Chains A and B, each alone.
Chain A
Amino acid sequence: MTAPPVYLVGEDDLCAALARALVVQSGKPTRIEQCDVAGGFGPFRARIPGMNTVAQRVTPVSMVADADQSPCPVTQLKEWLPKRPSDRLALRLAVREAEAWAMADHEGFAEFAQLSSAKLPPAPERLPNAKQVLLKLIERCKRRELRGEMLPGKHDRSLVGLGYNIHLKVFVSNYWQAERAALRAPSLARAIPRIAALLEHGGPV
C-alpha cells in the first residue's frame, strides 16, 4: 500500500522547506505529492481558495507563510480562509517570520552555523525583524561559506546574499528539528499537532 499523499505550499523557499520538514518529522506514513513555492505574500494568498478545493477533492494540504506584522495571526487566518474551509487544509502562519521558527532550534542552528547557542534569541517569535537578527548571527558565525553567500556583498544594496535561501534550505532539511524548535516558538508548537492530525485523518476521499 502506498502512503497517503499530501500537498505542500510555502510562501517562500524557507516556508516551503519548513512545511516539508514538518511533514517528514511528523513520523506519519505519508508521501509528499508536491511542494510549491508561491513566491511572495500575494501569490500565496491567491492560492488559498484553489488549495481549499484541492483539500476538499484530492489530497490533504498544508500551507505555511509568514504572519508578518499582523497583530493577531488568528484574525488574519480567518480573513484569509474561505467561507467553508476544508478540514483537510492546514494553513499555518509563522509568527512574524519563518526565520523565527528556524532560529528557535538553538542546538540545530548552533551546529549549522558553528556558533554558540547562547548567542541565539531566547524568544525568536517576539523579534520584530527575525531575518535581520539571523543575518547578524551569520555575520559572526565561523563558517566562511555562509558569510560569503548568505550575506549581501559589502557594497551591495540587496537584502540578502545570493545563497541565502539555499543554505537555509539545507539547514532546515539537515539540522532543524521541529520538536526542539517548538519549545521556543509557540506558533510552531500549535502547528505540529495540527499537521499530525491532518496526516492522520487525511487520505483520499
Chain B
Amino acid sequence: MLISRLKLKNWRNFQSLDVPLRNRTYIIGPNASGKSNLLDVFRFLRDICKPVGGGLQKAIEDRDGITKLRCIHARKDNEVLIHVSLSEEPDSDPVWEYALGFKPEGKGAQRILITQEKVWHQGKLVLNRPDKADKADVLRLTQTALEQINANVEFRELADFFRETSYLHLVPQLLKNAERISGRIIEDDPFGQGLLQRIAKSQQKTRDARLRRIQQALEKAVPQFSELKFDQDKVTGMPHLVASYQHWRPYGAWQRESQFSDGTLRLIGLLWMLQESNSLLLLEEPELSLNDAIVSHIPLMIDRVLRKQKAFGRQVVITTHSTMLLKAPIDGRSIALLEAQPEGTSARLPSEIELGLMDSGLSAADVLMPKTRPANIDQLGLFA
C-alpha cells in the first residue's frame, strides 16, 4: 500500500496543495520552499498514531503549537486540513482515504478542536466526525478517532500504516560524538543518533545479513573498505560498528564508527533504514557528504536493496537538491516540484511538455533543476 495522493490546506507553507505520489517520489525545490515541511505531514500523522506519547495534541505541541504549524497566509479560513489517499498501486483507486481538519476553538482556552475527521474505505464513508456524541461533549473533539484503539477498530490498518512511517536525516557528527556530547536522543530518532541502538536491538541473524549487504555496497563505494561488523564494548556494553580497511598492515586496524567518514556513516544509515521495514520511508537529502559518482546511483541502490528485500513496492519519499541524483533515468511523474509563490508554496508534477522533453532523452536534471533555481539569484549579491 502507498500514499497515492496528498492534499493539504494551510499546512506550514502550503496554503493549498494537491499532489499525486508514487512508489518513489522525489521532491525538489529551492531552499526554504518547504521540502521538509512536506515530509513533516507524514511524520505528523505518525505522531498522532504513536501508541506511547502520541495523539493530536502532543503532535501539535511538538511542533510549537498551531500558530507555527498553520500557514501564515491563512487569514479568513484558519482550518488546517490534511487529506491522504492510500492505494495498492499508483494511479489506481484509493482503498483508504483519511481527512483531518482542526483549528483553535476561537474562545477561552483556545483548545485545538477537530473540525472534521473522515475515513473512506473503498469510497464508502466509514467515519464522519463531528457526530452527535461530539456535539454533546466538545472535549471529544480534542482527540482523533485515529489515535484511539477503541474508535479506530474499523480502520486500524490505516493507523498502523501511518505509525510505521520512518524518517532519516542522519547527522554524522551527532552519531560520532554521541559519548562526548552525551546527547539526548530525540523521540523517534530523526537524526540517526540511535542508529547503533537500532542495530543492536535487531536479531543477530537479521543483523548479520543486513550488515553483510551493507558491507557489499560499501566495498564498491568506499576505497579500501574491507569489512564491517557489529561489536559490543566489553567494558561499557555500548554497541559499536567497526570496519577494517585494507592497507600495509596484514591485520588491518579496526576503526570504530567515530572514525568513519561522514559519507560512510550516511550510507550505512541509508542502507540500514532501507532494510529495516516495509513501510513508508522518508529520506532527507540522501546525497549529503557523498561523492557525485555514488549519488548518481542512489535511485538504483534504493531499488536494488528493496528488490532484494522483496519489498520493491515500498514507498520512499526523497527530498533532494542534487543534479547528479536526477540525472538517473527516473520516471518524470515521480518528481514533485515545489514552487514558492507569494501566497505560499505550490507543488506540481512535470507538465506534458516537460515529460515530452524527458521522453526524448533529456534527464530530469536537465528539464526540472533549472526551475528550482531562485529567479533573482544572479542579482542577490550573495557574497557582496
> Measured between C-beta atoms, what is the minimum distance from B361 to chain A in Å?
7
Give complex CA distance A159, B359 in Å.
Answer: 7
Q: Is the CB of B329 within 8 A of A157?
A: no
Name the prevailing secondary structure of the A interface residues: loop
- Say whether B333 faces chain A, with CB atoms less than 8 Å apart: yes
Scoring A residues 14 to 30 as 1 if CB is less than 8 Å from chain B, else 0, what string do you get? 00000000000000000
Residues 152 to 205 of chain A near chain B (Cβ within 8 Å): 152-153, 155-164, 166
Q: Is the CB of B328 within 8 A of A162?
A: yes
- Say whether B332 faces chain A, with CB atoms less than 8 Å apart: yes
- Report which of A40, A157, A164, A166 forms a contact with B331, defined as CB distance below 8 A: A157
- Say whether A39 faces chain B, with CB atoms less than 8 Å apart: yes
Which residues of the other chain, B, contact A158 by a CB distance below 8 angstroms? 329-332, 358
> Measured between C-beta atoms, what is the minimum distance from A205 to chain B in Å?
32
- Say whether A4 faces chain B, with CB atoms less than 8 Å apart: no
Give complex CA distance A162, B312 in Å.
Answer: 14
Residues 172 to 187 of chain B near chain A (Cβ within 8 Å): none
Q: Is the CB of B299 within 8 A of A162?
A: yes
Q: Is the CB of B327 within 8 A of A162?
A: no
Cβ-closest chain B residue relative to A156: B331
Contact count A vs B, C-beta below 8 Å: 43
- Say whether B63 faces chain A, with CB atoms less than 8 Å apart: no
Which residues of the other chain, B, contact A159 by a CB distance below 8 angstroms? 329, 359, 361
Q: Is the CB of B331 within 8 A of A160?
A: no
Q: Is the CB of B329 within 8 A of A164?
A: yes
Q: Is the CB of B361 within 8 A of A166?
A: no
Which residues of the other chain, A, contact B362 by a CB distance below 8 angstroms? 40
Scoring A residues 117 to 161 as 1 if CB is less than 8 Å from chain B, else 0, what string do you get? 000000000000000000000000000000011001101111111
Which residues of the other chain, A, contact B90 by a CB distance below 8 angstroms? 155
Which residues of the other chain, A, contact B355 by a CB distance below 8 angstroms? 157
Q: A148, A153, A166: which has the most chain B beta carbons within 10 Å?
A: A153
Residues 276 to 329 of chain B near chain A (Cβ within 8 Å): 297, 299-300, 303-304, 307, 327-329
Q: Is the CB of B327 within 8 A of A39?
A: yes
Give complex CA distance A166, B304 in Å.
Answer: 13
- Report which of A39, A148, A155, A162 forms a contact with B329, defined as CB distance below 8 A: A162
- Report which of B304, B327, B333 forms a contact with A149, defined as CB distance below 8 A: B304
Which residues of the other chain, B, contact A160 by a CB distance below 8 angstroms? 329
Which residues of the other chain, A, contact B304 by a CB distance below 8 angstroms? 149, 163
Once A157-B355, A166-B300 are accepted as A-B contacts, the answer to whether A148 and B333 lie under 8 Å apart by CB is no
- Report which of B303, B333, B361 forms a contact with A157, defined as CB distance below 8 A: B333
Scoring B residues 321 to 363 as 1 if CB is less than 8 Å from chain A, else 0, what string do you get? 0000001111111000000000000000000000100110110
- Report which of A39, A155, A162, A164 forms a contact with B330, defined as CB distance below 8 A: A162
- Say whether B91 faces chain A, with CB atoms less than 8 Å apart: yes
Which residues of the other chain, B, contact A148 by a CB distance below 8 angstroms? 307
Give complex CA distance A85, B12 in Å.
Answer: 59
Which residues of the other chain, A, contact B329 by a CB distance below 8 angstroms? 152, 158-162, 164
Which residues of the other chain, B, contact A164 by a CB distance below 8 angstroms? 329
Give complex CA distance A158, B361 in Å.
Answer: 9
**Chain A residues proximal to chain B, CB less than 8 Å:** 39-40, 148-149, 152-153, 155-164, 166
CB<8 Å pairs between A and B, sample of 8: A40-B366, A149-B300, A149-B303, A157-B333, A158-B330, A158-B332, A162-B328, A166-B297
Top 3 A-B pairs, shortest CB-CB distance: A162-B300, A156-B331, A158-B329
